Structure 1
Amino acid sequence: MSNLDALSERIDALEMRLAYQDVTIETLNQTITAQWLEIDKLTRQLAELKERVRETESHTAGPSNEPPPHY
């Protein structure tokens, strides 16, 4: 095998690896984007739930550690 054939094979191997890496990078990018969207959604839901808890606590009368009336 001549040097030209060996070089051609190496270039082909590098091109295949590059193509595989491009697909892998795109897949990882899509996964990360989906995860960030989910994290953003969950962060907004958490903020909404915190606000609901604050509103509920502000509308309750008396201390929360008060014993029940039958004591």
Structure 2
Amino acid sequence: MADDTVSTRITALEERIAYQDETIEALNQTITKQWAQIDKLTRLAETLTDRLRDIEAKAAQGPAAERPPHY
């Protein structure tokens, strides 16, 4: 009888470990995807910041620095 109890407990622990392994793998995949998205958004934000700085620098130079439309 004691062997059945130990065997049942071991089986239950093995099932829990298998379920936890699946959960950990799913979470790892989610985190990996999120980091990729964060990296992409960070690069985009840097690009947009650079473009905004360029636009602000051109605006600070005033209209004299712009070429007339007929050129």
TM-score category, normalised to shorter length: 0.7 to 0.9
Whether 1:8 and 2:7 are equivalent positions in the alignment is yes
After TM superposition, the score normalised by the length of structure 2 is: 0.83
Give 5+ residue unaligned stretches, structure 1.
63-71
Give 4+ residue runs of structure 1 displaced > 2 Å after superposition.
none
RMSD over equivalenced CA pairs, Å: 0.7
Greater RCO (Cα-Cα under 8 Å, separation 6 or more):
2
Aligned residues: percent identity?
56
Match of 1:58 in 2: 57
Higher-helix-fraction structure: 2
Give 5+ residue unaligned stretches, structure 2.
63-71
Match of 2:42 in 1: 43
